[in-house]
Amino acid sequence: MRLEFEDVSYSYEGGEAKKKKRSGAKKAQWGNAPDAPWALRHVSFTVEPGEFLGIAGHTGSGKSTLIQHMNGLIHPTEGRVLADGESLASKEVARRVRGRVGLVFQYPETQLFAATVFDDVAFGPRNMGVPEAQIEQRVREALERVGLCFEQLKGRSPFSLSGGQQRRVAFAGVLAMNPEMLVLDEPAAGLDPKAREDFLNMISGFHAQGTTVVMVSHSMDDLAARCSRVLVLSEGEVFALGTPAEVFADGERLRSVGLGLPAPVAFAGQLRQAGFPLEAGFFTEEQLADAIARALGRAVAAREGADRR
């Protein structure tokens, strides 16, 4: 499914902000301004089928607001969101899209509610009208996809599980609806380093199997290493959109909106400043290590050539 944002603006104040804008009485104030009327302003971009789109931006830049438009949970104050060309403003379209786009909130474990893991994971598919005879299979598969054992956990209270397990159960509840697009708000926030890596690898695995993924993250390293494109929001507007190579090429520009660079990119910049001849265009630790090895190899070869002459 192709999800298209067409000049989307959103205000939590609804019509009030619209009025201000139309009358031109008050120019929008951004960021930390207490009366900032627009959480999103003139946002246009497309989520392409099969891509892994990262979303970055300072606190309050509009990331969570943006992704809640993706399954019609909230609707643009101005502009349109189109799923395969059909506007989500139509209730019928929004209802259909909601089953195809799985939205996982930040700290989704806080939304667990049922008495058993089974009933919690089953809630979504039951709500979608999946026949009861298929529910157990859905729940079993979803729990297995997040690396949990159906037999061990189905009868347990979700609240008796560890935080990391609770996050997986909450995630399974979304997967049980078989979404073709996953939209994740800071999916690894608050997990320890090992759980974090496992969780992100799991998400990359879903993407490799064909699921379209949209992931909000504060970690430039995670975005650089995993996403095919990155959208940067600043004060509700699209600040940058492109491949990691394009977006992370200009460190100063990113710093101007309160963002950093992926650690390997920042480190490479420092090496270059110190006169080390390092090529550009990489984002992960492995790629940095390879680039350093290649640069050293070139230096050694040049020295040997000079010695022979």
Ligand X SMILES: Nc1ncnc2c1ncn2[C@@H]1O[C@H](COP(=O)(O)OP(=O)(O)OP(=O)(O)O)[C@@H](O)[C@H]1O
The site for Mg ion (CB under 5 A) is made up of 63-64
Choose, by CB under 6 A, the member of 21, 63, 140, 154 that binds ligand X.
Answer: 63
Q: Which does residue 62 touch among Mg ion, ligand X, none (CB within 5 to 8 A, set by kind)?
A: ligand X
Provide the minimum distance between the beta carbon of 261 and ligand X in the complex, in angstroms, as a whole number: 18
Q: Is 189 helix (H, G, I), strand (E, B) or coil?
A: coil
Which residues make beta-bridge pairs with 43?
A: 8
Q: Is 54 an interacting residue with respect to ligand X (CB under 6 A)?
A: no
The torsion of the CA quartet 44, 47, 48, 49, rounded to 10 degrees, works out to -150
Q: Is 59 an interacting residue with respect to ligand X (CB under 6 A)?
A: yes
Cα distance between residue 170 and residue 167, in whole Å:
5
In this complex, which beta carbon is closest to ligand X, that of residue 63 or of residue 154? 63
Q: Is 202 helix (H, G, I), strand (E, B) or coil?
A: helix
b/e 89-102 (16+ beta carbons within 10 angstroms → b): eeeebbebbbbbbb
Question: Could you tell me where the DSSP H helices lie in 2-149?
Answer: 15-23, 63-68, 91-100, 117-127, 132-145
- Whose tokens are 């009030």? That residue is 16
Q: Which does residue 59 touch among ligand X, Mg ion, none (CB within 5 to 8 A, set by kind)?
A: ligand X
Q: Which does residue 264 touch among ligand X, Mg ion, none (CB within 5 to 8 A, set by kind)?
A: none
If one counts every other C-beta atom within 10 angstroms of the C-beta of residue 160, the result is 10
Q: Which does residue 178 touch among ligand X, Mg ion, none (CB within 5 to 8 A, set by kind)?
A: none
Residue 139: burial class (beta carbons within 10 Å; 0-12, 13-18, 19+): buried
Provide the minimum distance between the beta carbon of 65 and Mg ion in the complex, in angstroms, as a whole number: 8
**Residue in the shown chain whose Cβ atom is closest to Mg ion:** 64
User: Using an 8 Å Cβ cutoff, are 131 and 139 in contact?
Assistant: no
- Whose tokens are 């899209």? That residue is 97
Region binding ligand X by CB under 6 A among candidate stretches 56-64, 79-87, 251-259, 278-286:
56-64
In this complex, which beta carbon is closest to ligand X, that of residue 39 or of residue 146? 39
Q: Which does residue 39 touch among ligand X, Mg ion, none (CB within 5 to 8 A, set by kind)?
A: ligand X
Q: Is 71 an interacting residue with respect to ligand X (CB under 6 A)?
A: no
Helix (H) / strand (E) containing 80: strand 78-83
Q: How many residues bind ligand X (CB under 6 A)?
A: 11
Provide the minimum distance between the beta carbon of 34 and Mg ion in the complex, in angstroms, as a whole number: 18
What is the footprint of ligand X within residues 13-52 (CB under 6 A)?
36, 39
Q: Which residues bind ligand X (CB under 6 A)?
A: 12, 36, 39, 57, 59-65
